């Protein structure tokens, strides 16, 4: 018996492999190329998945309860990458340049 047994919800488990399909991975790749760090995570009960981007100390994390919602979240981050939201702020210190 796990020490965590009973601490989660009785909801469905998020289908991670399906969630990390081409639309989501393409958006994550575009964010990385634009200069962001991208990460994914699961909720404690495994019923939701998050996508996070970090750029120059700023972090945005959004949660999705199903694959379609995760694709929509990835689309939001893709739009941010295309707008240039992950460019360094004007006062950013650049190292090695």
**Which of 84, 82, 60, 83 shows the shortest CA–CA distance to 73?**
60
Query: What pTM did the predictor assign?
Result: 0.80
Considering only residues 4 and 49, tell me which one the structure prediction assigns the higher pLDDT.
49
Quick one: tokens of 21?
């399909």
CA distance linking residue 66 with residue 49, whole number of Å: 8
- Select from 1.10.357, 2.30.30, 3.30.720, 2.40.10 the CATH code of 16-83: 3.30.720
> What is the arithmetic mean of pLDDT over 84-93?
80
CA distance linking residue 29 with residue 35, whole number of Å: 10
Does residue 97 carry a pLDDT above 70?
A: no
Residue-range domain boundaries for the chain: 16-83
pLDDT digits (tens, 9 = 90+) for 41-68: 999 999 999 999 999 889 999 999 999 9
Does residue 39 carry a pLDDT above 60?
A: yes
């Amino acid at each position: 018996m796990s020490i965590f047994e009973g601490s989660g919800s009785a909801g469905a488990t998020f289908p991670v492999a399906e969630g990390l399909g081409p639309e989501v991975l393409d958006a994550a790749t575009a964010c990385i190329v634009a200069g962001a760090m991208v990460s994914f995570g699961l909720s404690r009960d495994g019923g939701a998945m998050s996508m996070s981007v970090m750029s120059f100390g700023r972090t945005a994390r959004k949660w999705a309860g199903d694959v379609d919602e995760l694709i929509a979240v990835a689309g939001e981050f893709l739009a941010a990458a295309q707008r240039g939201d992950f460019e360094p702020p004007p006062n950013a210190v650049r190292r090695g340049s």
